Structure 1
Amino acid sequence: MPIFSRLMFQAVRWAARRGLREEENFASLAKKLEARSTGVRGETYAYWYLRRHGYVFVARNYTPRGIKGELDLVGYDGKTLAFVEVRTRTVKEDATALPELSVTKEKQRMVVRTAQRFLAERHVAESPVRFDVVAIDNHPGKPPVVRLHKDAFTSQMR
């Protein structure tokens, strides 16, 4: 039996033994895709919003090798290098949570660690560094509401 066919049969047997886990059902997959789509739209909206406010971007969705983490947007605001975390929520009638509140201490540590790797890899000249958060409330049928929090957190994590 050719190698490719053998590998295909092994994959089919493995999938049959494993079955569909709960998170792999179609409803949760659709929910994940919707969340990812909302995030991508939010990041794109934030990118253009910040460009209109003078930011000059050097990276989008930077993901380093070897460590967990991603930087949504990296750009200069004047002479300051800003690492921007974008949080987007589709506002429902009963939702009261603000998207910026979802940037936990653990997420902040991850962003700082990823930013340090970015600075080391790119050999960025000495310039001030800042961590910003852009919060976007997406109201269906209305323009999004954007809040920019400059210097939202620091690299001095406790």
Structure 2
Amino acid sequence: MRVFTQLAVRLLDAILPEPDEPEHLKTGRRGEELAYFFLRKHGYTIVARNFRTPWHKSELDIIGWNGGILCFIEVKTRTTRDIATAEAAVDDTKRNDLRRVARHYLRQCAENTPTRFDIVTVYLDRPKPEITILKSAFLLSGE
């Protein structure tokens, strides 16, 4: 079934007109798609993608369960390793923004739901993308 879904996504990408958007947004979208399938392959149950609120500038790229833990997942995609690492882009400001959005999401969850923040890095600088999960990259508390 997963192979069928991936083929369907690729087919739709080939058929639908290319959106007129900057290259870095296309790269980010591709990285999020790759991360989505990678996480599912590694046992995550995805419950939301691109979750945002009207009150915060950041969005949670992917939200999913890994075992009994609700994971808020930030995906960082890079086409080169020449500058800083992909995960370095999740600085203190970004982490605090993600925490605020996560707290908003948690209002609909049971109290004391176990959570963590993971970062998925996607490097597209080789023929086969390199994808890594950094589990528990930072905590909900920490502002």
Measured against the shorter chain, the TM-score band is 0.7 to 0.9
Q: Which amino acid aligns with 2:69?
A: T
Q: Which amino acid aligns with 1:45?
A: L
User: How many correspondences in the alignment?
Assistant: 123
Between the aligned partners of 2:23 and 2:74, the Cα distance in structure 1 is 19
Q: Give how far 1:68 is off.
A: 1.9
1:98-125 Cα shifts (integer Å, max 9, x gaps): 10111100000000000001111xx212
The equivalent of 1:90 in structure 2 is 79
Q: Give how far 1:96 is off.
A: 4.2
Runs of 4+ in 1 over 4 A off after TM superposition: none
Q: Give how far 1:147 is off.
A: 1.4
The equivalent of 1:130 in structure 2 is 116
Q: How does 1:56-75 map to 2 (within 5 A)?
A: 56-75=45-64
1:42-93 Cα shifts (integer Å, max 9, x gaps): 001000000000000110000112222200000000110000000000026x
**DSSP-derived class of the 2:31 partner:** helix
Give 5+ residue unaligned stretches, structure 2.
1-19
Partner residue of 1:148 out of 122, 127, 133? 133
The equivalent of 1:55 in structure 2 is 44
Q: How does 1:4-83 map to 2 (within 5 A)?
A: 33-83=22-72
Is this contact kept in 1: 2:56–2:97, CA < 8 A?
Answer: no
Between the aligned partners of 1:81 and 1:157, the Cα distance in structure 2 is 18
Q: Which amino acid aligns with 1:132?
A: D
- Is 1:108 aligned to 2:95, yes or no? yes
Q: Which has the higher helix share?
A: 1
Identity across aligned pairs (percent)? Answer: 38
Q: Which amino acid aligns with 2:102?
A: A
- Greater Rg by CA: 1
1:2-30 Cα shifts (integer Å, max 9, x gaps): xxxxxxxxxxxxxxxxxxxxxxxxxxxx8
